[in-house]
Amino acid sequence: MDQIIVHGNGALKGEIPIAGAKNACLALMPATLLSEEPLTLTNAPRLSDIRTMTELLQSLGAEVVTMQDGQVLSMSSHDISNLTADYDIVRKMRASNLVLGPLLARAGRAIVSLPGGCAIGARPMDLHIHGLEQLGAVIDLKDGYLHATAPRGLKGARIAMRFASVGATENILMAATLAKGTTVLENAAREPEIVDLVACLRKMGARIEGEGTSTITIEGVDRLHGATHPVVTDRIELGTYMLAPAICGGEVECLGGRIDLLESFCEKLDQAGVSVEQTNRGLKVARKNGRIRAVDVRTEPFPGFPTDLQAQMMALMCTAEGTAVLEETIFENRFMHAPELVRMGARIEVQGGQATVTGVEKLKGAPVMATDLRASVSLILAGMAAEGETTVSRVYHLDRGYEHVVRKLRGIGAQIERVREGEVAHV
């Protein structure tokens, strides 16, 4: 099993290219099931989750070809030969459930295993099921699988979601593109990944309005055609690497970054004493003056502070001046990185959905263990600013969401190396 060894070595300088968004790509890929014609995605991230979605689509009969070192995905679903998304694939990744809506819309039925993914709390399928049932689907749970049919076809409906779920919005949105009549989706998620999916579906011939707002209107069409679409910049990778110079000092330019993808996050960085400047190449990030100031954070659906940047922000607050309260409102069990940061000398108290972080002058390197995707990178960021050596174990989580993380951080001056457990690092 691999480990990542990090030595704190001061200020960082340079530039980091930001990949296409994992969460956007994982929604865009199932859209190929909606059409017999090819869908090509450019700027695709090279991640294990993308390989898992590729495996799932291929198991359904889709053809998926990767080109240009994995950054281009050419997909064709002219022949859907299987309508069952098997547990052995689906259990690896939560986003696998996004084949449910497209299969129902295109083939009229689907059997999809309940999904797996990171252990950051129960993320139930009830919103997906309720929305699809409103469109006319009949869905039963048998032996861990959702058995879905559309006996009279899918028909447009007014659907009010009780929570602005990104995954449910995506599933319902894709299904509604081929439903008869008009669907109005209320309390829809507003994330950039939703806007990106709609842009792709529109290129495929879908008739959709209102993306980026809480009400999306979809007028069903008889068929969709092929398209080529670039995946939007990954705002979570962007925010993660923006925190590197904030934690360690120095100045880093994140290529392809845009403030509009992370306005709430950028506001918090400004309050903490971090400068963020939009350039013609991306975002330039640097500490303003002196020590970082503690700021309170409450995670919220977009355009609020992203839950996927909460762990990384906690790493920044560990050495901030003052006390910060981080409130997690999206997922339970998402403070599992806190005890590992405490091993490095952080002062953190967790009570339910709140973590109180009192800044210390310096963190100390220590052996720590990653518990999920975002926790793993928060420990790396903390190790980059700590005294001595930090060893992060169970880093296979990283491969689900960050491509070439060691190479990118080395490129801005970090002393970091990935090794097999038991090997000697040379950082």
Binding residues for phosphoenolpyruvate: 22-23
Distance CA 16, CA 241 (A): 8
Who contacts 253 (Cβ-Cβ below 8 Å, separation ≥6)?
14, 15, 16, 279, 281, 282, 283, 284, 285
Beta-carbon neighbour count of residue 92 at 10 Å?
A: 20
Q: Are strands 63-67 and 347-351 parallel, antiparallel or unpaired?
A: unpaired
Who contacts 407 (Cβ-Cβ below 8 Å, separation ≥6)?
none
Q: 373-385 and 310-317 helices cross at what angle (nearest 10)?
A: 20
Q: Which among 36, 83, 35, 46 is positioned nearest to 68, based on CA atoms?
A: 46
Binding residues: 22-23, 94, 123-127, 308, 330
- Give the distance from CA 304 to its chain's centroid: 15
Tokens of residue 341, six digits: 């940061």
How many Å is the Cα radius of gyration of the chain? 22
CB 18 within 8 A of CB 418: no
- The phi and psi torsions of 377 (rounded to 5 degrees) equal -75, -25
Length of the chain measured in residues: 427
CB 181 within 8 A of CB 156: yes
Distance CA 4, CA 9 (A): 15
Tell me, yes or no, if 118 is annotated catalytic: yes
With b meaning 16 or more CB within 10 Å and e meaning fewer, what string describes 261-285?
Answer: bbebbbebbeebbbebeeeeebbbb
How far is CA 378 from each of CA 172, 235, 313, 369, rounded to the nearest angstrom?
Answer: 33, 16, 8, 11
Binding residues for UDP-N-acetyl-alpha-D-glucosamine: 94, 123-127, 308, 330
Q: Which one is catalytic: 118, 200, 248, 266? A: 118
- The phi and psi torsions of 178 (rounded to 5 degrees) equal -110, 5
Residues with catalytic roles: 118
